[in-house]
Amino acid sequence: MEDKTSQFKIILGSSSLPRRKILTEMGYEFTLMSADIDEKGIRKEKPEELVMALAEAKADAILQRLPVSDYVKEAEPTLLITSDQVVVYEGVIREKPANEEEAHQFIKGYSGGHAATVGSVLVTNLKTGFRKGEWDRVEIHFHEIPDEVIEKLIEEGNVLHVARGLLIEHPLIKPYIKQVPRHYRQTFPKLVLLSLGLSPAYG
């Protein structure tokens, strides 16, 4: 695959495996750093404001651990990409579940219903200090999800580390997705491209 990072370097400020995979599929090479912030300490009423504030906070936390003055001197700019995602269910913002009981409650609530994911991407140019961010919202509809499927998902443990307590692309949950916009899988890469000042090839 053609490397698209010949004009700049990328630091992905995320521990998310799906985001790593997507960025790799987009043809970018990158290094990884985790922000390790207290996400619960940042509150906003609107989900789009919250995900942007969290992406900003993650960038700020990572910048404190980087020798920024060195990046300013480099010929090629280094871009720091941070992001966040929450779910809005019945008007309530949901982030990562606090425990297995809450994860079960979250997933059971989606069964036969629908929820919206709100995601953000923020790109910070470490050479210039310039930042640009974007957010997007996607509605997802579910069939009834059997209790045994919910239990298996919780046993795996991964649901405790993602917004909404549910991995949409998990093979156990895929059969119970009634409707999801075709661009759902493209949301993160689209936001990355927009934040880089590029035009995505899809809507």
Angle at 138 between CA 17 and CA 106, to 5 degrees: 70
pLDDT in tens, 37-74: 998 899 999 999 999 999 999 999 999 999 988 888 88
Cβ 202 vs Cβ 190: under 8 Å: yes
The reported pTM is 0.81
Q: Which residues are CB-neighbours of 32 under 8 A, at least 6 positions away? A: 11, 12, 14, 15, 20
What's the whole-number mean pLDDT along residues 70-90? Answer: 89
Task: Report yes or no: 135 and 152 within 8 Å, Cβ to Cβ.
Answer: no
- Cβ atoms within 10 Å, residue 188: 24
Please tell me the distance from the alpha carbon of residue 193 to that of residue 125, in angstroms, as a whole number.
14
Q: Is 96 helix (H, G, I), strand (E, B) or coil?
A: coil
What is the fold of 9-195?
Answer: Maf protein (3.90.950)
Check whether 192 has a pLDDT greater than 80: no
Whole-number Å distance between alpha carbons of 25 and 31 = 15
pLDDT at 112: 93
Domains in the chain: boundaries: 9-195
Which helix (H) or strand (E) segment holds residue 86: the answer is strand 78-89
pLDDT tens figures, 154-190: 888 777 777 666 677 788 888 998 877 655 555 666 6
Instruction: Please give the biggest Cα pair distance in the chain.
Output: 56
- For the segment 109-119, what is each residue's pLDDT rounded down to a tens digit? 999 999 998 98
* pLDDT at site 185: 55
Helix 17-25 to helix 187-195 angle (10° resolution) is 70
Residue at token pair 């919202």: 137
**Cα-to-chain-centroid distance, residue 110:** 20
Catalytic residue annotation: 84
